[in-house]
Amino acid sequence: MVTPEWRVTVDPRRCIGSGICAGAAPDHFVLVDAVSIPLDELIPPEESVLDAAESCPMEAIAVRDAVDGRLIAPEA
């Protein structure tokens, strides 16, 4: 089953502002004061956002199913 929307969050306490997420998914993340911020909390499924979450060195990005809250990325 394809999830209609994902919820994207960044934990500002974990984010070190590496910018990997903004490089991997520039349409979805921006750095503000050295902390990543998702441009939209709810998004349609997008492979680049999974890449950003999996690439984050601090695992500060969480991608969840917007309906049931199931963690999609990063993989445990």
| Cβ(52)–Cβ(59) below 8 Å | no
Cβ count near 70 (within 10 Å): 10
Q: Which two tokens stand for residue 76?
A: 């445990």
> 4: pLDDT confidence band, cut at 50, 70 and 90?
confident
Instruction: Give the separation between CA 56 and CA 22, rounded to whole angstroms.
Output: 10
For the record, the structure tokens of 26 come out as 């520039």
What local confidence, expressed as pLDDT, does residue 2 receive? Answer: 60
Cα–chain-centroid distance for residue 33?
Answer: 18
Could you give all domains of the chain from N- to C-terminal order, each with its CATH number?
6-73 (3.30.70.20)
- Of 2-6, 45-49, 50-54, 68-72, the poorest mean pLDDT is in 2-6
Task: For residue 38, say if its preceding peptide bond is cis, omega within 30 degrees of 0.
Answer: no
- Percent of residues, the chain, with pLDDT higher than 90: 92
Separation CA 52–CA 7 (nearest Å)? 14
